[in-house]
Structure 1
Amino acid sequence: MTVSRWLSKYRAGGLTQLLNIQTTPGRTREIPPAVESRLREELKDPKGFSSYKEIQVWLKAMSDLDVGYTVVHKLVRYRLNAKLKVPRPVHTKQKEGLVEEFKKNSSQTRRSAEALGGSSKKISKNSILVWR
């Protein structure tokens, strides 16, 4: 603000006019706050959405909003701080039940190793065997 603008504001309204902070209205959001809150609740669901395209289809079906992919991505990822519910990748050649079998057998292997003289040391959530 220049000195002349400051003086003209002061003369027009005094100190209250100088302390008044004017904000521009800006552009309105493409997705209204009510729809945004409903989307936030849907994202909390454990099943959730698996893609941003799926969210676009949901917005079209529920609120008749035709918004772009980038708008949906920025809203979900950065404004709502949510992530899509996508399962971890599994190799196509992996046999079913192999992971559960490994988990079951690994705890038995650890117990038998401890019985033979090893000791386990707790580090965060995982147990690591230490041989002495």
Structure 2
Amino acid sequence: METVFSRQIQEDVADLKSREKEPFAKGIADRIRFLRLLKEGHAERLADVAALLGYHLRTVQRWWQTYRAGGLAALLPGPPHRGASERITPEAWTGLRAEMEAGHIGSLHDAQVYLRDHWSIDYGIDAISKLFRRRKTKLKTGRPHHRKAASPAVQAAFKK
């Protein structure tokens, strides 16, 4: 049965079925299923499709408006990333890593001071900790030595 919706949807049913089975997130597969149900004529109104898929009518209306405005390409991507971007630049990160590898930075406070003084980037200690966790970076330092046993002569004598 041909409906108003089925005439306005450019993609054919076979293409929509194959795209529906691709490994997408659940919401994107539902958007493709929404188009397929309209194209096949399983529903004559958007409210019927909303009931079949378990979404609110307003959500399905927004999907239809998005499809009509930009086609399938506009309907497929999920919501944009809304998180804040990192303040550290690639150059600052490279410089920080070089300082850490050289042994000049041994604590989060040292990293904070370096970024503030050399790159004018202000991070709190907790933010630097999270930055290192996101980038899978650990402050590697040598084992601490006792101040009296730090001389090579004392160490050599102890080993004998």
- Report if TM-score (shorter chain) is over 0.5: yes
- CA RMSD of the aligned region, Å? 2.9
More strand by share: 1
Q: TM-score, normalised by structure 2?
A: 0.49
What is aligned with 1:38? 95
1:8 aligns to 2:71 (yes or no): no
Q: Higher helix share goes to which structure?
A: 2
The amino acid across from 1:79 in the alignment is R
Q: Among all aligned residue pairs of Structure 1 and Structure 2, give the percentage whose two residues are the same amino acid.
A: 35
Give the TM-score of the pair, scaled to structure 1. Answer: 0.56
Aligned to 2:49: none
| Distance of 2:91 and 2:107 partners within structure 1 | 22
1: CA distance, partners of 2:88 / 2:73: 36
What stretches of structure 1 of length at least 5 have no aligned partner? 106-132
Question: Partners of 1:92 and 1:44 in 2: how far apart?
Answer: 23
Once residues 89 and 42 of structure 1 are traced to their aligned partners in structure 2, the CA distance between those partners, rounded to angstroms, is: 19
For the pair 1:67 / 2:123, whether they are aligned, the reply is: yes
Structure 2: gaps (5+ residues): 1-26, 28-58
Partner of 1:87: 142
Q: Which moved more, 1:83-92 or 1:7-16?
A: 83-92
Equivalent AA in structure 2 for residue 35 of structure 1: A
**Displacement after TM superposition at 1:69 (Å):** 1.0
Asked if structure 1 preserves the Cα contact closer than 8 Å seen for 2:112 and 2:128, the reply is: yes
**Aligned AA for 1:33?**
P
Q: Which among 69, 76, 83 is matched to residue 19 of structure 1?
A: 76
- 2:19 corresponds in structure 1 to none
Counterpart of 1:56, as a letter, is Q
Does the alignment pair 1:28 with 2:81? no
CA contact (8 A) 2:66 2:74 kept: yes
Find the aligned partners of 1:40 and 1:28 in 2 and give their Cα distance.
20
Equivalent of residue 53 in structure 1, options 96, 109, 133: 109
Cα offset for 1:99?
A: 4.7
Q: How many residues align?
A: 102
- Given that 2:100 and 2:106 are in contact with CA atoms closer than 8 Å, whether structure 1 keeps it comes out as no
